[in-house]
């Protein structure tokens, strides 16, 4: 798995007066994609937090290419872009289903912390599972 796919439908309360999904919802969709990717890796947030591993967002960004309207289906494509001992960068693409037109891209950068917010290293097995998804340099991915 180089990219995790999760399909959702733009819901009415996510839209603005013009019937377009409000830009802030893209970050909610990124979080859904990230949560589902981690779950598929066997690293659900609840299990990580039970081990005192927290991953707050320390940086985020998005580029909006096309509007999403109420009731459209969107594929949230989530990847792991980079892993260090204490940080993880996820990448996101939102694509209109079924055409595949990319409507937005984004990223989130996370720091590994304990429950008090103090930095901590990712356990080796967690780091290894995440690193397995990082595209190899020069692979064009």
Alpha helices (H) in the chain, listed in sequence order: 24-40, 45-50, 124-131
Q: Is residue 137 part of a domain?
A: no
Q: Is residue 141 part of a domain?
A: no
The number of folded domains in the chain is 1
Among 16, 71, 75, 114, the one annotated catalytic: 16
Q: Are strands 102-111 and 87-96 parallel, antiparallel or unpaired?
A: antiparallel
Active site residue 71: no
The pTM (predicted TM-score) of the whole model is: 0.93
CATH of the domain at 46: 3.10.129.10
Q: Is residue 55 part of a domain?
A: yes
The residue range of the domain holding 106 is 4-131
Q: Is residue 127 part of a domain?
A: yes
Q: Is residue 36 part of a domain?
A: yes
pLDDT per residue as tens digits for the range 81-114: 999 999 999 999 999 999 999 999 999 999 999 9
């Amino acid at each position: 798995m180089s990219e995790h796919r999760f399909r959702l439908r733009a819901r009415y309360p996510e839209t603005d007066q013009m019937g377009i999904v409000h830009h802030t919802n893209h970050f909610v969709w990124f979080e859904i994609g990230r949560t589902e990717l981690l779950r598929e890796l066997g690293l659900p947030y609840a299990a990580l937090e039970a081990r005192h591993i927290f991953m707050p967002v320390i940086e985020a960004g998005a580029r909006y290419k096309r509007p999403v309207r109420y009731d459209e289906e969107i594929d949230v494509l989530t990847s792991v872009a980079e892993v260090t001992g204490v940080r993880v960068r996820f990448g996101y693409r939102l694509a209109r289903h079924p055409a595949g037109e990319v409507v937005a891209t984004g990223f989130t950068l996370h720091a590994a912390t304990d429950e008090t917010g103090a930095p901590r290293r990712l356990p080796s097995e967690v780091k290894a599972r995440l690193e397995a998804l990082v595209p190899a340099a020069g692979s064009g991915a």
